Chain A
Amino acid sequence: MHLTIEEFVDVAEGARSEASLPHVSACAACRERLAAMRTAIRTAAADDVPEPSPLFWKGLSARVTEAIDADLAARRQWWAAWTRPRVLVPLSAVALLAIVVATTPNPNALWRGATPATTSPPAETTARAATIEPASDMVDLAADPLLTLVSDLSANMDWESAAAAGLAERGSADHAVTHMNSDELRALKKLLQEELARPGA
């Protein structure tokens, strides 16, 4: 059996003697390979790195010093940029907000100004909430006394009254609908009927 790669390397480098591996004396192929490896090592080792000019070394040291200074300056600049009040204050605010949102059990309540879960809502709104289960956010909406008041006030309001009250702002979809002519309204009605007639609508 021929030598392994490790044996070839050890013998070629002289870390192990040829005599310790009897196969070498019997195998011409292994001997030839070992000789080729030794020649390649000798050839490579004979190559020197060209010596640069003596001035080069001082120049290299100076370049290293300059590069380190530039690197340190860039790092300081980067740090200063991130710690400026103009950047730091909004970043801190965002971080604080993120912490508040992350630690609040029901973050949606923050935006709606809902009463905390521990306070019991009025009996009337609780009953209404029970009818629109199971969506949890819908329950919260129904539990909001302000929204309930708005809902009660606007229950009997028709389209014209809403427009007259200024609820349909210029530029909104509602405003656009209230300003359509009869042909446009007919076309819209047709489109809506088609959509409602579709299965699953």
Chain B
Amino acid sequence: MESPLTWTFPGFWQMATVDVPLESLDERALVDACLAGQREAFDLIVERHRRAVYQLCYRFVANHEDASDLAQDVFVRAYRGLRKFRRQSSIGTWLYRIGVNVCINRVSARTLPTEPIAERQFVDPKADSGSDRLLQSERRAKVRAAIAQLPRKQRATLILRVYHEMSHQEIADALGSSVGAVKANFFHALGNLRKLLGPEGL
């Protein structure tokens, strides 16, 4: 019986098969295995990308609960649409694209609450003292809240550019717009962020 964590490759001239552990497969092979009915292959895709997808969602909504729900939704949609993955980009970029769409749609549906400072789990080890840590946490919370207030496309552009280091072209592909529009959104996002934070917040 075939092990649940191996993927059987069609061998030379279909005369032999080779069992390869799923963990050793690259993303495209994982997609193939998944499309061939190996659900465990998708679990590995989730495992490899869950942090990046969660962080993307967190940037949009600035709270843990909604970010977890959105991340889950992104993976369910990815599984549903796996056959539509055209392999022109990496699966990571494809997941970002789904993530941006899921987040933009959800964010437009309702205003999401940002997390209060006390509930944040982030601790900066570089901060010298408790008061420094608190100040830095407060400052970060303000930045996050300001980003969460930006218009949807500006927010998406800023997040993908600053935190996920995507090129303007990749962002344009993900958002279904042009490079010029992406640059304009980025320009206005920075201007609005400055206004929302004020001179002391920067």
Contacts and interface: CB of A to CB of B under 8 A. Distances in A.
B97 interface: no
Given A45-B162, A61-B43, A53 B121 contact: yes
Contacts of A52: 54, 64, 121
A65 interface: yes
B7 interface: no
Interface stretch (B11-19, B22-30, B98-106, B185-193): B185-193
The size bracket of the interface on B is 35 or more
Contacts of A36: 190-191, 194, 202
A9 B183 contact: yes
- Secondary structure call for the B interface: helix
Contacts of B143: 43-44, 46-47
A79 to B, nearest CB: 14
Interface string B79-111: 110000000000000000000000000000000
Contact of B187 (A8, A64, A68): A8
A108 interface: no
A30 interface: no
Nearest to A70: B76
A63 B187 contact: no
Contacts, number: 103
The size bracket of the interface on A is 20 to 34
Contacts of A102: none
Given A43-B201, A71-B76, A60 B50 contact: yes
B156 interface: no
Q: List the 10 closest A-B pairs by CB distance, nearest first.
A: A50-B122, A40-B190, A64-B75, A9-B183, A49-B55, A47-B143, A5-B187, A49-B58, A47-B140, A50-B120
A60 B158 contact: no
A102 B29 CA distance: 49
Interface string B124-151: 1000000000000000100110010000
Most buried by B among A39, A43, A46, A64: A64
A49 B148 CA distance: 13
Interface in A13-71: 36-37, 39-41, 43-53, 56-57, 60-61, 63-65, 67-68, 71
Contact of A9 (B144, B186, B201, B202): B186
A124 interface: no
Nearest to A5: B187
11 contacts: A5-B187, A37-B187, A43-B202, A44-B158, A44-B193, A46-B140, A47-B147, A49-B59, A50-B121, A63-B72, A67-B72
A63 to B, nearest CB: 5
Contacts of A43: 143, 193, 197, 201-202
Interface in A114-133: none
A194 interface: no
Nearest to A59: B68
A41 B147 CA distance: 12
Given A41-B190, A47-B143, 16 more contacts: A5-B184, A43-B143, A44-B158, A45-B163, A46-B143, A49-B55, A49-B59, A49-B122, A50-B115, A51-B121, A57-B47, A60-B46, A60-B71, A68-B42, A71-B79, A71-B80
B180 interface: yes
Nearest to B115: A50
Nearest to B140: A47
Contacts of B180: 6
Most buried by B among A8, A39, A50, A68: A50
Contacts of A48: 122, 124, 140
Contact of A6 (B64, B144, B183): B183
Contacts of A44: 143, 147, 158, 162-163, 193
